[in-house]
Amino acid sequence: MPSVRIPTPLRKLTGELEVVQAAGATIAEVLHSLDQAFPGLKERICDDAGQVRRFVNVFVNDEDIRFLEESATPVKDTDEISIVPAIAGG
Amino acid sequence: MKDRLEFHPWRALHGSTLEDGFSAMKSTPFFSNLKCRECGRLYPKQAIHVCDFDFGPLEAAYDYEAIGKVLSRKVIESRPHTMWRYRELLPIDGDPTVGAEVGFTPLIKADRLAKILGIRELWIKNDTVNYPTLSFKDRVVSVALSRARELGFEVVACASTGNLANSVAANAAAAGLKSYVLIPADLEQGKVLGSLVYGTQVIGIHGAYDQVNRLCSEIAGKYGWGFVNVNLRPYYAEGSKSMGFEICEQLGWRIPQHTVVPMASGSLLTKIHKAYKEFIQLGIVADTPFHMHGTQASGCAPISHALKRGTDIIKPVSKPNTIVKSLAIGTPADGYYAIHSMKQSGGSAEDVTDEEVVEGIRMLAEYAGVFAETAGGVTVAGARKLIESGHIGAGDSAVLCITGHGLKTQEAIVGKCGAPRLIAPNLREFEEKIYAPDAAAASI
């Protein structure tokens, strides 16, 4: 299963785990699996329409999914997914 | 009352036990909370920067009613000429212990440049001479590191395109804090050396700024260092307001009709906008119409392009391609808010090519006597286009925010300003090659 790096603001929902495993062939499926394992996590990451929120960046390995296929971006079992707050830097 | 509010940075620096104004201020909660800009949830004043619920940015919230009772033009004018003369509107609890001398840079009336650009009145807010590292970043670092000390951090760090790294390195050195600065590996030599000299840990990353930024977010989450523009960002960002406060005061307590600001993350523009609104709310300046304009380099202009498209959805730039490295942020954190500041104020955005940037640097130097880094070239060249297109009226008055010194980005103009004319050390050669008295007399 792909591994997912959890940002600090969401670790209260994962029992302070920094990295978790979540099944899925796309980012959307991985987020769904995460929500099954850690209820409430998806609504923090996605808005009411199911889209990744404006202030969240999701990376597959080193690539921002906005440069790939957004939530439909395919993922492999060996991929590392990072969820990172967008508000930083500058 | 006036005496009790008087602020002496040297007392703060040297640990005076005098019963001065700061002691009185400490017990007054002008800076009350952190607040999510999206949902309004309140958070304690800790090293956190995003909302747990929607990842919205946390911003300093103030008790403006309490501030209104103590802050006036007269009180401000009684204080030393630093950015801390507006300290009730900056988010620390006690004395500023880092960078107490920062700010209050000159506001220059630039008549010759105004004529060339085709505008009635033009002012340069000259942060190329900010103390100690010659850029506006000294403002934000002064606040961030003073707050870092209040929160007990011993290690401070940043993701930077250069100027911030210089300022964190210098101010941390002065304060005795251990520092790490993370930068793209291909920055200008002046900016790399301008960090190394202070003995900081300079980490060059093989990647663009946005990749540096992401790494810093992950380090901050794992190790708990005080990253000035990650987990200390709510404090850091507020420091930029001081540029707006100073502009108003130096113009004779009024808001300029037009303010032109370079944009990287977009934070500076939003904070100057916030400063103007705070001064209006407190009755320190009159509520007159003003317009915020943002400028970017065409090789990395996600905010400008979005505004021109009429949307607030930022399309990130994956590979910035410009000589303006200090503005090369492809995923601007405050882009959304910068767009709304420009739209709300009836402002506009513009972007300029690298050639126009060099022209802008030269115009500012030749007609105003200010040597700016590439971001300054973006501001001047962008302002010229905004005046030409009528977004800034020819009969109006404008302030250009010039944010960093040109000695830091010499690579951008090497070979583009001519070269010294070389002669032997004798009068004959001087008169033959440089200055012929007969020809000069004839031309008078």
**In three state form, how does the secondary structure of chain A look?**
CCEEECCHHHCCCCCCCCEEECCCCEHHHHHHHHHHHCCCHHHHHECCCCCECCCEEEEECCEEHHHCCHHHCECCCCCEEEEEECCCCC
Contact A81, A58 (CB under 8 A): yes
Backbone angles phi, psi at B70, to 5 degrees: -120, -20
Are A89 and B159 within 8 A, CB to CB? yes
**Apex CA B154: angle with CA B148 and CA B157, to 5°?**
70
Q: Which amino acid is at B28?
A: T
Are A88 and B49 within 8 A, CB to CB? yes
Are A87 and B333 within 8 A, CB to CB? yes
pLDDT 10s digits, B393-433: 999 999 999 999 999 999 999 999 999 999 999 999 999 99
Residue B180 three-state SS: strand
Question: Tokens 């004959």, residue?
Answer: B428
Q: Taking Cα atoms as reference points, which of B116, B113, B165, B158 lies closest to residue B138?
A: B165
Inter-axis angle of helices B302-309 and B335-344, to 10 degrees? 50
The whole-angstrom separation of Cα B180 and Cα B169 is 8
Task: Please give the full DSSP string across B364-392, using - where no structure is assigned.
Answer: HHHHH---B-HHHHHHHHHHHHHHHTTSS
pLDDT 10s digits, B170-227: 999 999 999 999 999 999 999 999 999 999 999 999 999 999 999 999 899 888 899 9
**Torsion, Cα of B337, B338, B342, B343 (10° steps):** -30
Q: Residue B259 forms beta bridges with which residues?
A: B292, B399
Q: Is the pLDDT of residue B1 over 60?
A: no
Residues of chain B contacting A88 with CB distance shorter than 8 Å? 49, 159, 213, 216-217, 220, 227, 229-230, 233, 333
Q: Which of B160, B214, B314 to mutate to test the interface with A (most CBs of A within 10 A)?
A: B214
The confidence score (pLDDT) of residue B7 equals: 37
pLDDT: which is higher, B28 or B366: B366
CB atoms within 10 A of CB B83: 27
Residues of chain B contacting A45 with CB distance shorter than 8 Å? 55
The confidence score (pLDDT) of residue B10 equals: 32
From the list A8, A9, A57, the residue facing B331 with the nearest CB is: A57
Residues of chain A contacting B332 with CB distance shorter than 8 Å? 90
Could you name the CATH architecture of B137-236? 3-Layer(aba) Sandwich (3.40)
From the list A66, A67, A86, the residue facing B333 with the nearest CB is: A86
Are A87 and B331 within 8 A, CB to CB? no
pLDDT 10s digits, B139-148: 999 999 999 9
pLDDT: which is higher, B438 or B341: B341
Q: Which long-range contacts (CB under 8 A, 24 or more apart) does B273-276 make?
A: B273/B244, B273/B341, B273/B344, B273/B345, B274/B241, B274/B244, B275/B89, B275/B241, B275/B242, B275/B243, B275/B244, B275/B245, B275/B248, B276/B244, B276/B248
Q: Which amino acid is at B292?
A: M
Question: Is 3.40.50.300 the CATH number for B107-133+240-412?
Answer: no
ipTM (interface pTM): 0.88
Residues of chain B contacting A5 with CB distance shorter than 8 Å? 218
pLDDT category at A89 given cuts 50, 70, 90 is confident
Domains of chain A, first to last: 3-85 (3.10.20.30)
Q: Taking Cα atoms as reference points, which of B355, B397, B399, B312 lies closest to residue B108?
A: B399
Q: Taking Cα atoms as reference points, which of B74, B59, B58 lies closest to residue B274?
A: B59
B120, with CB counted inside 10 A (0-12, 13-18, 19+), is middle
pTM comes to 0.92
Q: Which of B46, B55, B141, B229 to mutate to test the interface with A (most CBs of A within 10 A)?
A: B55
From the list A9, A67, A89, the residue facing B50 with the nearest CB is: A9
Comma-separated ranges of CATH 3.40.50.1100 domains in chain B = 107-133+240-412, 137-236
Cis peptide before B234 (omega within 30 of 0): no
Helix (H) or strand (E) holding B256: none
Contact B377, B354 (CB under 8 A): no
Are A88 and B229 within 8 A, CB to CB? yes
The confidence score (pLDDT) of residue B439 equals: 59
From the list B50, B218, B264, the residue facing A90 with the nearest CB is: B264
Residues of chain B contacting A54 with CB distance shorter than 8 Å? 336
Q: What percent of chain B has pLDDT over 90?
A: 90
